[in-house]
Amino acid sequence: MLVFYDFETSSKEPFGQILNYYFVLTDASWHFYQELEGFVQLNPIQLPDVDAILTTKIDVGWLQENGESEAVAAQRIHAFLTAILAQYDTVTLVGFNSNAFDLNFLRGLLLRYGYNPYLKFKNKDALHFLHHVAFLYSDAFPWVKKVNQEHSYYSFSLEEMAKAFGVLQDQQSHTAKEDVMVLISLIQYMELFFKVSFSSFNPFQICDEENMVRALGRQRCRSDEFKWQYRSWASLAPHSGLWVCLKAFIEAGHTNNYLSCIYYKNPNKSFFVLEPNRDSDDLLTYQKILEMPLFIEFSKNPYRYFEMTKKNWDIEYQIHELGFNRLDLLLPLIQELYDHPDRWENRMQKLLETYQKSKNIQDKYFLQLYNRSYLNISKSCSQAGTYIKNRYVLGLLHKDPQEFQPFHVAFSRLRALSKEEDCPAFIYSLCQYYQSFSSTFSLSTDFL
């Protein structure tokens, strides 16, 4: 069974919020069984990114009046998914670019309200299917080349592909339900046109032809210059999930930064289809890899790689870093907040004391997630000042500071857009929301 899903969100960053969601259960023959749709009110600490709303065109004023609370959305989604898992032996979650985007938002939403975010689904990203078909049937595939001021590239956006295959005639409306329906229509058309099965497609294939591919293989992948190209990979250790990109390994030789050429390939999320590779130069490069102390260490103890590459990102970029033991402790405390938000201060004090004693980063993550859950559930503006400043004014929560846009810059841009002729209503609505947010948290006087 397949569960197709899509989200429209307030940000591309995972500490943003789902604003519109849609799920539909189908079988391999495209019979529809159950669906779930909803629009979600913004939490008091959520300020939508301007670019996100320009894409979705969601009217946040309408959302606040007609949407459900995020807590209700989390409960409905969790109940819908767990009921499906209880009914069927094997269920696969399917989205478009979902393994890199939507899945993170889904897990973040569930954790935020006390639900275990690691539901036992298989995950399949339809974008991987699109790539696979394009590489295998390159001559028949309708390539869409885009050119901007910086470079040219081949587009694989859902809208561009749907138009190229003729399953979408007008502009995408960017509601979650329409995106899912467009995606299903696109896959159905591709199955008929290319005589391939989406349900049978395996995005993670490491064959073992004469023990060659498990050690060394090549993968067809995207390229800006060409429609596709080969990339060569070498395995560090069977079943470790660690692979060395040979091209990156050669480039790393100039800086001795060999960690940069190692990649972890998750079988439940990655697009990794390897073919045999007997290129003599690649074989020589692989022999060099086998002889280097760093790679020998990782082949014996793969976990060392993960220790050496830990990211100093906000916990909501990497909720797996909380650890399963602390997950079991966190969930009942979040559930307690529903009935007893008045216990937050005492709980926070104890959690802070624990962290000050242990200095364990997981205790810090635990404290942060619990505090943010309180801010969402209690709607306490008085306690949110530090979080608001760090996220929207200083950008301390963003993993890429260069992409961060401070509140005053975003608000100035929004005001300029609202003054343009024929400005759409959703821009005015967002501008009003920014003004209200600014007044609520005194951003224009205290922080700017």
pLDDT for 208 equals 63
pLDDT for 446 equals 44
Burial (Cβ within 10 Å: 0-12, 13-18, ≥19) of residue 420: exposed
pTM, to two decimals: 0.91
pLDDT for 67 equals 96
Residues of the chain below pLDDT 70: 172, 208-214, 444-448
Q: CA 123 to CA 188: how far, in whole Å?
A: 19
pLDDT for 73 equals 96
Q: Is the dihedral of CA 225, 226, 228, 229 positive or negative?
A: negative
DSSP category for residue 144: -
Domain with CATH 3.30.420.10 in the chain: 2-194
Where are the strands (E) in 138-215, listed by range?
A: 145-147, 152-154, 204-205
CA 7 to chain centre: 11
pLDDT for 402 equals 86
CATH numeric code, 2-194: 3.30.420.10
